[in-house]
Amino acid sequence: MLEVLRVLSTSSESLRHAVVFLFNGAEENVLQASHGFITQHPWASLIRAFINLEAAGVGGKELVFQTGPENPWLVQAYVTAAKHPFASVVGQEVFQSGIIPSDTDFRIFRDFGNIPGIDLAFIENGYIYHTKYDTADRILTDSIQRAGDNILAVLKYLATSDMLATSSEYQHGNMVFFDVLGLFVIAYPSRVGSIINYMVAMAVVLYLGKKFWQPKHNTVNYTKDFLCGLGITLISWFTSLVMVLIIAVFISLIGQSLSWYNHFYVSVYLYGTAAVAKIIFIHTLAKRFYYVNASDQYLGEMFFDISLFVHCGFLVMLTYQGLCSAFISAVWVAFPLLTKFFVHKDFQQHGRVFLVLIQVGKYLKIYKASRDYFSLFLIPKPILVFVNTY
């Protein structure tokens, strides 16, 4: 924040809007400083947008994990201006669901000030957070440089934006947003996302409907095998979950809880291997004792259809609930279905359809994000930038 302040104060470029730099304290004690500012300070009524700087780790990319309320223009500002974007609406919905027992000053400004904002946080190496190892020498300077590049660029964009003065007029609906390999961010209104999701679901319905009603196959046997395969799939998922829970309980009983926390891939091998092994075991039993005479090609195509059906169910359910993260299920359905169409000989005979949907799945680790703050330092201007420091 001090470096951004220095750059802005020495720049020859004039800003259309002023900027407030707010250094908060007393966050661990029910977010008192931010609450005091937004409810009592005379400058609070001038604020039109804010950027909240968080940290639940000491390095890596700073993740945009919250935006809102209803701020398509603010997401577009980040998409346009950020030099090294890293954002995911999945993180926003996970954090705001209350699953993670944590809170940030973002909520105070959003709920008590009704101000749109962006919440960014470092999440890498979160295992040292609030421990004796949480020292300044562990902070990665390249991460600070990266964050500074992004924050300065976005702040300059907002400070020269025409929308900032009347930001309340642009608070209409939520946005689906996610970055692609950190190169750029894809963002579109949630209502557009709902249309896309339902179109994908309809494509699955048409595809499976043709399978069930086409005369060249014995649809009775296929329907029976499909339903049995669906049951086998659900059973394999359930038993995998039970196996993972058994391992977790065992590790806790021997006093090694979270022993894998500072080595994330250990948890992948520990729990992931057990889950995959259980799924393979269940399907192997089904192949040996139920689908004895079925060919591998037939089984492969049938379980492909089952996978589409299950993920399409998740897609419809999440979209109906109004969750922007339903785009993940849409990708899991659209890409396999498109691949199937492109390689199918009937499809090649009757024409081609060109459609590209881009998404990269990520593991999102969001750790406890409450912080300690230092004393208040203010400059009277109406964009608010505030940071959580140790």
What confidence tens digit (pLDDT) does each residue in 234-281 have? 999 999 999 989 988 988 888 877 777 767 778 788 888 888 888 889
What pLDDT is stored for residue 163 in this prediction? Answer: 78
Is residue 251 in a domain?
yes
Question: Annotated catalytic, 70?
Answer: no
C-alpha pair distances (Å), 298 with each of 151, 226, 227, 295, 314: 53, 11, 15, 5, 25
Residue 378: pLDDT over 50: no
**228 and 160 within one domain:** no
What pLDDT is stored for residue 220 in this prediction? Answer: 63
Is residue 78 in a domain?
yes
Is residue 105 in a domain?
yes
Tokens of 74: 């603010």
Is residue 295 in a domain?
yes
Which range in 101-105, 302-306, 312-316 is most confidently predicted, on average pLDDT?
312-316
Of the pLDDT bands very low, low, confident and very high (cuts 50, 70, 90), residue 286 is confident
Q: What is the mean pLDDT of residues 299-317?
A: 90
Q: Is residue 86 classed as helix, strand or coil in its secondary structure?
A: coil
C-alpha pair distances (Å), 278 with each of 16, 204, 239: 60, 28, 7
> In this predicted model, which residue has the larger pLDDT, 10 or 211?
10
What are the two backbone dihedrals, phi and then psi, of residue 112, each rounded to the nearest 5 degrees? Answer: -95, -20
**378 and 284 within one domain:** no
What pLDDT is stored for residue 345 in this prediction? Answer: 52
Residue 146: pLDDT over 70: yes
Please report, as a single letter, which amino acid is at residue 24. Answer: N
**373 and 314 within one domain:** no
State pLDDT tens for residues 155-181: 999 888 887 777 666 666 788 888 888
Is residue 360 in a domain?
no
CA distance 92 to 107: 12
**108 and 38 within one domain:** yes
**146 and 171 within one domain:** yes
Residue 355: pLDDT over 70: no
Q: Are 68 and 104 in contact (CB under 8 A)?
A: no
**235 and 201 within one domain:** yes
**319 and 212 within one domain:** yes
**336 and 225 within one domain:** yes
Q: Give the number of C-alpha atoms closer than 13 A to the C-alpha of residue 365, restricted to the C-beta side.
A: 19
What pLDDT is stored for residue 178 in this prediction? Answer: 87
Tell me which residue range forms the domain holding 150: 2-181+366-387
**196 and 177 within one domain:** no
Domain count of the fold of the chain = 2
**139 and 64 within one domain:** yes
pTM: 0.74
Catalytic residue among 27, 54, 93, 124, which? 27
What are the two backbone dihedrals, phi and then psi, of residue 67, each rounded to the nearest 5 degrees? Answer: -140, 165
Of the pLDDT bands very low, low, confident and very high (cuts 50, 70, 90), residue 222 is confident
Is residue 87 in a domain?
yes
| String of DSSP letters for 178-218 | EEETTTEEEEEEHHHHHHHHHHHHHHHHHHHHHHHH-TTS-
Of the pLDDT bands very low, low, confident and very high (cuts 50, 70, 90), residue 72 is confident
Is residue 123 in a domain?
yes
Residue ranges with strand state E in the chain: 19-23, 49-55, 59-68, 117-124, 175-180, 184-189, 383-387
Query: Percentage of the chain with pLDDT > 70?
Result: 84
**337 and 285 within one domain:** yes
Residue 83: pLDDT over 50: yes
**113 and 46 within one domain:** yes
Is residue 361 in a domain?
no
Q: What is the CA radius of gyration of the chain?
A: 25
Element containing residue 247 per DSSP (H, E): helix 219-253
Of the pLDDT bands very low, low, confident and very high (cuts 50, 70, 90), residue 106 is confident
Residue 370: pLDDT over 70: no
